[in-house]
Amino acid sequence: MKKTLISAIDYNVCLNRNGYTNSKGCRQVVVELYQQGCRRIVNTHIHVREADFHSGRIQTTHPDHDLLNRRIRRIVRRLMELEDEMLDAGQAPTPQRLVEALRLNLTRSATIQEWIDSIIMPSARRTVTKGNYRTLCRSLELFHTDLHIGEVSHDLIERWQNWMRRERKLSDNTIAIRLKTLRCLINEAIKRDVIRCDDDPFRYIHIPEIKARLEHLTEQELRAMETVTLTDKRQKHLRDAFLFCCYTGLRWGDFHRLTSNNLHQHTLSFEQHKTGGRVELPLDVLWTGKALDLIRRYGSLEALADVGDNKKCNHDLRDIAEKAGIKRHLHWHLSRHTCATLLNQHGLNMQEIQFILGHSKLATTEKHYAETLYQQVKQALTKAFKA
């Protein structure tokens, strides 16, 4: 038996009480919710003449009376279902909560897609983050059609995790990102009292840490990329674009958005797509102006950055690496690691590398480029104990 936390809500179907009529002389039918002197209204967006409405029903004098009455009943039934949901979850249903839950789909019976559309998409989250939620929705839709937020359980998460690993052949990092994204969505439901803390499906689920790939090109490998003979015009362009990012440390998301407006004399200035932070790079002295030479070769930043899709670029980079004799899994982000590592080996400290990479925190630079610290210590020890 359900425990009544507060007096029940009364529902009343009537015409709007403000007397407003549209251009056709019709008034809107509304559902009024009453509870201990509190009143809230749900609009049905159904407009009828006063003569066609009586005692909470649209009369037979209206040509669509049966269809419209069904629509009204569905709204009232949905409100009553939401009231029961809140009682089952141990919450006190109020007219205000019911109206908000109906308007924003903030219920246990709302689908993952509806939660994302209501909470994530209108928020100030970054475009990349919103893209992660869209990817999450597609993945869950393939695994379980029309999954409701209230159906997400410990067992379902484990089965979905195994499905991503065995059926979709996804990497551990990709699976961890999907799990963290779903956990954030569940936390949104908990914050809004739709899911109780005790019912948190992630309560006993361990999400592995995302392992950063700290590979980088050595100076010899970078020189091999610079000097490799390529006959294909696209491969030459792609190689030069990759080298530009090795010299500047730009992420793919920042590189392919570059325009001539980002270049002021010899300074490359841009706002990072991922973090929104501002970065300014002196290209005339960075790597002795190699990045500037590439811009001049292609005439503009737009022309240099026009290399197509990131996935296709990563695929073609591996062919270029093979021709250059580089036995390494080459991908675009490797250029950023290469820039940081080689700059450190040339004597720049972590604070200076942080400035070039555009990290807001030094800890981020040290975490993702710990190998540069190792190389720095190794060189210092070699120098200290050199006979």
Question: Virtual CA dihedral for 215, 218, 221, 223, nearest 10 degrees?
Answer: 140
Q: Where are the domains of the chain?
A: 10-104, 112-199, 219-384
Q: In whole angstroms, give the CA distance from residue 207 to residue 177.
A: 9
- The helix/strand/coil state of 11 is strand
Cα 128–Cα 133–Cα 135 angle in degrees, nearest 5: 90
Radius of gyration of the chain (CA): 30
User: What digits encode the pLDDT tens for the residues 291-332?
Assistant: 999 999 999 999 999 998 888 999 999 999 999 999 888 899
Query: 101 or 236: which carries more pLDDT confidence?
Result: 236
Looking at the predicted structure, is the pLDDT value of residue 345 above 70?
yes
Structure tokens at 119: 């909470």
Question: How many CB atoms sit inside 10 A of residue 304's CB?
Answer: 20
Q: In whole angstroms, give the CA distance from residue 175 to residue 117.
A: 22
Question: Is the CB of residue 232 less than 8 Å from the CB of residue 311?
Answer: no
Looking at the predicted structure, is the pLDDT value of residue 167 above 90?
yes
Question: Is the CB of residue 288 less than 8 Å from the CB of residue 203?
Answer: no
Question: What DSSP designation does 308 have?
Answer: -
Please give the order of strands across the beta sheet that includes 38-48.
10-15, 27-35, 38-48
Question: What is the model's pTM?
Answer: 0.62
- 48-60 mean pLDDT: 94
| Phi, then psi, of 348 in degrees rounded to 5 | -75, 140
- 271-280 mean pLDDT: 87
For residue 237, how far is the Cα from the chain centroid?
31
Summary mean pLDDT of the chain: 89
Cα–Cα distances in angstroms (integers) from residue 278 to residues 227, 259, 268, 273, 355, in the given order: 33, 15, 11, 10, 10
Residue 371: the pLDDT is 58
pLDDT band at 6 (very low <50, low <70, confident <90, very high): low
Looking at the predicted structure, is the pLDDT value of residue 3 above 50?
no
The maximal CA–CA distance of the chain, rounded, in angstroms, is 106
Question: Virtual CA dihedral for 205, 187, 95, 75, nearest 10 degrees?
Answer: -70
* CATH number assigned to the domain with residue range 112-199, chosen from the 4 options 2.60.40, 3.90.1720, 1.10.10, 1.10.150: 1.10.150
Which of 197, 222, 51 lies closest to 60 in space, CA to CA? 51
Q: In whole angstroms, give the CA distance from residue 99 to residue 17.
A: 18
Query: 187 or 211: which carries more pLDDT confidence?
Result: 187
pLDDT band at 214 (very low <50, low <70, confident <90, very high): low
| Amino acid type, 135 | T
CATH of domain 219-384: 1.10.443.10
Residue 284: the pLDDT is 92
Residue 69: the pLDDT is 95
Question: Is the CB of residue 264 less than 8 Å from the CB of residue 258?
Answer: no
**Cβ within 8 Å of residue 142, ≥6 positions away:** none
Question: Is the CB of residue 95 less than 8 Å from the CB of residue 106?
Answer: no
Looking at the predicted structure, is the pLDDT value of residue 266 above 50?
yes
Looking at the predicted structure, is the pLDDT value of residue 337 above 50?
yes
Question: Is the CB of residue 14 less than 8 Å from the CB of residue 101?
Answer: no
Question: How many CB atoms sit inside 10 A of residue 31's CB?
Answer: 21
Query: 377 or 117: which carries more pLDDT confidence?
Result: 117
Looking at the predicted structure, is the pLDDT value of residue 178 above 80?
yes
Looking at the predicted structure, is the pLDDT value of residue 4 above 50?
no
Residue 211: the pLDDT is 67
| Phi, then psi, of 350 in degrees rounded to 5 | -65, -35
